Chains A and B, each alone.
Chain A
Amino acid sequence: MKNIYIILSKEIKTYFASPMAYIVAAAYLAITGFFFVASVSDAFSEATIRGYLAGATFFMIFMSPAITMRLIAEEQKLGTLELLLTSPVKEAEVVIGKFLASLITVCIMIFFSLYFVILLYLFGDPDSGPLFNGIFGLILYSSATLAIGLFASSLSPNQIVGLVVGSGILTSLTIIDFISTRVSGIGSEILSFLQLGASFSVFDLGSLGVAESGHFADFSRGIFSLIDIIFYLSVTIVFLLLTILILESRRWR
């Protein structure tokens, strides 16, 4: 536990000591803000953060791998991974510490975007249920995307490879609904079950063709759905385990 905390605090310090975190946070606020404004600026629009959530889930396809890309790749490149793993530290502690650091960084970004919520309460009468459930879902969704990003970062000492592979996996899990509607039977059900959270829809004009879908849809409707929570937690755990496996794989190669 203590080792997880040591690694976590080192990574958080590194995030906020470099311009990276601030640039990503600024882009996050700008893009989600844009989606939020687009969704609430109609004459009779609802007081919801669904536009914000759609924008956030979409943007995280690229943002999460960008945040996690250096976490393991850089250690491999600098050789510090060897030093870390010859210290009395377990692979799992390294992976969990780094994952939690990225999750906390994203939570801080989400926290700063909560002024959208304040605006809604000031100028409208929002339904609190879907609002806070949506934020809760967004944190679960980010944890799944960050775990995938971290896994991608462990594959190569090159950060760009991590970014591309991570975004690639997340993009696949976002456009998978196009494929699932074109196959039939159990295959279609399995594919649509893998739909991660964001989706593209020409009918969703309120948030510029980006929609929440898949396991995220219920959160933004205010439904507390256990299966979706379990889905996101499972994705997170599976990809963290895969990452640990990759780090341990040097032992049997």
Chain B
Amino acid sequence: MIRVEHFYKNYGPYPAVIDVSFEVLKGEIVGFLGPNGAGKTTTMRTITGYLPPTSGNITVSGYDSVKYSLEARRHIGYLPETVPLYLDMTVTDYLSFMGKIRGMNSKWINERINKVIDHVRLGDYRNTHIGKLSKGYRQRTGIAQAILHEPDVLIMDEPTIGIDPIQVVETRQLISELGEAHTLLISSHILPEVSAICPRVLVISDGRIVADDKPTNLSSRLSGTERIELGVSGVDIKDLISKIRTIESVIDVRTDTRAEQTDNAKKNNYIPIVVDSKTNENSPEKIAKLIVDSGWGLKNLTPLPMTLEEIFLQLTQEK
């Protein structure tokens, strides 16, 4: 659906995007993750035909974004970061204008407006001036606009930025629903959001793609470490930590300070610790053996996936 090949974009002499290639297949939901200024918005604007690439090819639904720009744009629903709305129009008027400008006939527009307004749950506000809507409802109007013309491809730039937590949850849910019928590319710098919605994540940093994988795979494949939480009873904490450190593949051992863990530990009378170790060296097995052989009580051993934040930091700082 979206194919980006060796895409470069310079602003004057400054490179914003460097040799980015990826493909988003029909029905995929792909998260586009990166810190501010990494090139997310530039890439999205180029896919939508707002900016031309400096070099490289981008096709949407088979149409080149430069040569057949108008045709390509017909297949795209786009929600820019700023959520562009005409504040002095009502929701219905706005949607109707956006439909007309995309070449929909009036019968199709009327049908779709009703459906879309139901879909984004804007029913009570259909005749309200957009300027009077709260930020979350404006966001929904923006989403309604993007899906109005039943596009193959939906591109959303930071769709949950600046709205309150309850509305974030609702918007996320809405986006997940949209993923059932559309090919979706969502940008974000908020990590849990991407892992909550997207089965596949592209990480971009300083204009380059640094990772392209499932959020769960990212952790073990790219970090090179695995992490387990341990609960051990019947031993002094210093003893425990120094003994575990003697295992070769172990990188780091420390007390688990997360609140829920310390609570659990107090209740069940064990010492909570976290162990980082090299992947593929059977470290959990070795640790378990050590504890059992030493005659301590093994109360808990759970593998912990690294959080996206940590992976993200690691990925973006490596380069």
Taking Cβ atoms with an 8 Å cutoff, the residues of A that contact B are 2-3, 6-7, 10, 14, 17-18, 78-90, 250-251, 253
Contact = CB atoms under 8 A, between A and B. Distances in A.
Interface stretch (B49-57, B180-188, B283-291): B49-57
A220 to B, nearest CB: 38
B243 to A, nearest CB: 60
Interface residue range, chain B: 20 to 34
Nearest to A93: B101
B70 interface: yes
Given A80-B86, A82-B45, A87-B73, A250 B50 contact: yes
Contacts of A84: 101
B102 A83 contact: no
B97 to A, nearest CB: 5
6 contacts: A86-B73, A87-B73, A88-B71, A88-B74, A253-B11, A253-B12
Contacts of B103: 2, 88
A85 B46 CA distance: 12
Contacts of A89: 101
B133 to A, nearest CB: 14
Contacts of B50: 82, 85-86, 250
A6 B83 contact: no
Interface in B74-103: 74, 76, 78, 80, 82-89, 97-98, 100-103
A86 B85 contact: no
A251 B51 contact: yes
Given A89-B101, A251-B52, A83 B145 contact: yes
B48 interface: yes
A250 B70 CA distance: 17
B84 A83 contact: yes
A87 B52 contact: no
A6 B83 CA distance: 21
A104 to B, nearest CB: 18
A148 B291 CA distance: 82
A7 B48 CA distance: 21
A197 to B, nearest CB: 33
Given A6-B97, A83-B80, A83-B145, A88 B102 contact: yes
A10 B97 contact: yes
A14 B90 CA distance: 11
Contacts of A18: 88
A17 B93 CA distance: 12
Interface string B96-114: 0110111100000000000
Contacts of B145: 83
Nearest to B54: A252
Contacts of B70: 88, 90
A75 B103 CA distance: 20
Contact of A86 (B49, B71, B87): B49
A83 B86 CA distance: 11
Q: State the 7 A-B residue pairs at the shortest beta-carbon distance, nearest first.
A: A79-B82, A79-B84, A80-B84, A86-B48, A88-B70, A83-B84, A6-B100
